Chains A and B, each alone.
Chain A
Amino acid sequence: MIINHPLLGPRDSAEFTYLGDASLLNRPDPDTATPKDWHDYAYLRDNPAGLHRELWFHEGGDRSWLVVTRNTVTHEITKVELARDVARGLASDVAGMGTKRSGG
């Protein structure tokens, strides 16, 4: 499986380690989150047969976190973004100051 790194180009998936669902980026606000929010964040995941956004770490490369959109049925990868860009997009959405990035 080849992951098309946004900065480094196509790289073998063996260079990466897998963390899981990219919804981990949406951490609840510690000031306002309820125990249920934390429970849902920590334990509940969707398990789609199809497109799935997930976090991969480029351990054997530049050590950046990526958000990879992968089809769990075919393993086709349709989109790869730097997780920090996605996270910054989310942050600016929350602040109402930025436009939502595609896929973010």
Chain B
Amino acid sequence: MHDLTPITAFGLAEPTVFVTQSCQLAERPRIALASVAARLGVDEACRAVITDLLRADAPDPAAWLASDIYSAFWMGPDQWMFSADFPDVEDIVARLKTSFGETASITEQTDGWVSFDLTGEVEAVLELVCSVDMRTRSAGYASRVSIHHTGCFLLIEASDRVRVYAPRASAGSVFHGISQAMTSAAAR
């Protein structure tokens, strides 16, 4: 029997957290991710499966939504990223392949990305690190953005709460970029 200890994207046992007076940036481990790409000619059938899983229409461009088990955001034409929490849906790919069958190609993305929750006065931070203007966007918005020269996904959950998915291999760089912006924003 293996006795393995899961580690975070920073190689630690506990999630990394950075706090300023106005914001908190918290690593959020234990999230299962898988990308779903509709196959050519059966995109309507694929969307029907998504509707079943999310109990809502597939997310539109630049949007995300959550149901009781899965969350999903739009990544590109006929492509979505699905997420779910450990430990219930740790085998997300097997589950989605069963659901989607031949209508979509499913690719494991768990641990390809690190997840950060930025909470508090996020407007002042985001305007320093990426092109998304929180004043013109609302909850439900999802977009790929460049943060600290790194391609990330940004999901707006509320006016004071966003989720960032950054490439796991660049977790330190993105965390550094956002935490520095938080320090600058708090010093204003």
Contact = CB atoms under 8 A, between A and B. Distances in A.
Interface of A: 7-8, 12, 15, 59-64, 82, 84
A64 B74 CA distance: 12
Contacts of A59: 151
Contacts of A15: 131, 146
B77 A64 contact: yes
A8 B151 contact: no
A60 B76 contact: no
B140 interface: no
Given A8-B61, A15-B146, A62-B74, 19 more contacts: A7-B61, A7-B77, A12-B131, A15-B131, A59-B151, A60-B144, A60-B145, A60-B146, A60-B151, A62-B61, A62-B75, A62-B76, A62-B77, A63-B75, A63-B76, A63-B144, A64-B76, A82-B77, A84-B77
Interface in B75-104: 75-77
Nearest to A12: B131
Contacts of A64: 76-77
A57 to B, nearest CB: 11
Interface in B128-147: 131, 143-146
A62 B131 contact: no
A12 B151 CA distance: 15
B62 interface: yes
